[in-house]
Amino acid sequence: MQETDSSFFPFVPSLSDGGKGDRYGNGGKTNMYPFVSALSMTGGDGENSYACNSHLQRKVIEKTRPVRVKNTKEMLIKLDFPPCIKVADLGCSSGQNTFLVMSEIVNTINALCQERGRDPPETDCCLNDLPDNDFNTTFKFACFFNKTSKGSSFISGVPGSFYSRLFPGKSLHFVHSSYSLHWLSELPRGLEDNKGSVFITGSSPRTVYEAYLNQFRKDFSSFLRLRSEEMICDGRMVLTLIGRNVRDPLYRDCCHFWTLLSKSLLDLVHEGIVRDEDLDSFNLPFYDPDEGEVKEIIRNEGSFEIGELETHEFDLGQSLDERDYMLGRDKSGEREANCIRAVSEPMLVAHFGQDIIDALFEKYARHVSRHSDCRHKSTVTLVVSLVKK
Ligand SMILES: C[S@@+](CC[C@H](N)C(=O)[O-])C[C@H]1O[C@@H](n2cnc3c(N)ncnc32)[C@H](O)[C@@H]1O
**198 DSSP assignment:** S
CA of 92 to the centre of ligand 1 (A): 6
* pLDDT for the residue numbered 211: 95
Binding site membership of 133 for ligand 1 (Cβ less than 6 Å): yes
Candidate from 52, 65, 130 with most ligand 1 atoms within 8 A of CB, to mutate: 130
Radius of gyration from C-alpha coordinates of the chain: 21
Residue type present at position 243: G
Task: Evaluate whether 90 touches 162 at the Cβ level (below 8 Å).
Answer: yes
Q: Which of 229, 236, 231, 216 is nearest to 296 (CA)?
A: 216
182: Cβ contacts below 8 Å, ≥ 6 apart: 241, 242, 243, 286, 287, 288, 289
Binding site membership of 54 for ligand 1 (Cβ less than 6 Å): yes
CA of 288 to the centre of ligand 1 (A): 15
- Using a 10 angstrom Cβ sphere, with 0-12 exposed, 13-18 middle and 19 or more buried, the burial of residue 273 is middle
Task: Evaluate whether 370 touches 274 at the Cβ level (below 8 Å).
Answer: no
* pLDDT for the residue numbered 4: 53
* pLDDT for the residue numbered 5: 57
Binding site membership of 384 for ligand 1 (Cβ less than 6 Å): no
CA of 326 to the centre of ligand 1 (A): 32
Domain positions in the chain = 33-388
**181 DSSP assignment:** T
Closest ligand 1 atom to 94 CA:
27
Furthest C-alpha separation in the chain:
71
Candidate from 87, 180, 227, 230 with most ligand 1 atoms within 8 A of CB, to mutate: 180
CA of 128 to the centre of ligand 1 (A): 8
Q: Whose CA is nearest to atom 25 of ligand 1?
A: 40
Beta strands in 35-193 (DSSP E): 84-90, 122-129, 153-159, 172-178
How wide is the angle at C-alpha 110 spanned by C-alphas 109 and 114, nearest 5°? 120
Task: Evaluate whether 380 touches 244 at the Cβ level (below 8 Å).
Answer: yes
Helix (H, G, I), strand (E, B) or coil at 99: helix
CA of 25 to the centre of ligand 1 (A): 15
**32 DSSP assignment:** S
Q: Whose CA is nearest to atom 23 of ligand 1?
A: 91
From the first residue on, what is the mean pLDDT of each consecutive set of 10 residues in the chain (389 residues)?
A: 53 44 46 80 86 86 95 97 97 94 94 93 95 93 75 91 97 97 94 91 92 97 98 97 91 88 95 93 95 97 96 70 54 84 93 94 90 76 97
Class of 33-388 in CATH = alpha beta
CA of 9 to the centre of ligand 1 (A): 29
Binding site membership of 91 for ligand 1 (Cβ less than 6 Å): yes
* pLDDT for the residue numbered 15: 41
Binding site membership of 57 for ligand 1 (Cβ less than 6 Å): yes
Candidate from 39, 98, 129, 224 with most ligand 1 atoms within 8 A of CB, to mutate: 129
Per-residue exposure over 321-334, b if at least 16 CB sit within 10 Å of its own CB, e if not: eeebeeeebeebbb
318: Cβ contacts below 8 Å, ≥ 6 apart: 55, 56, 59
Candidate from 42, 50, 53, 93 with most ligand 1 atoms within 8 A of CB, to mutate: 93
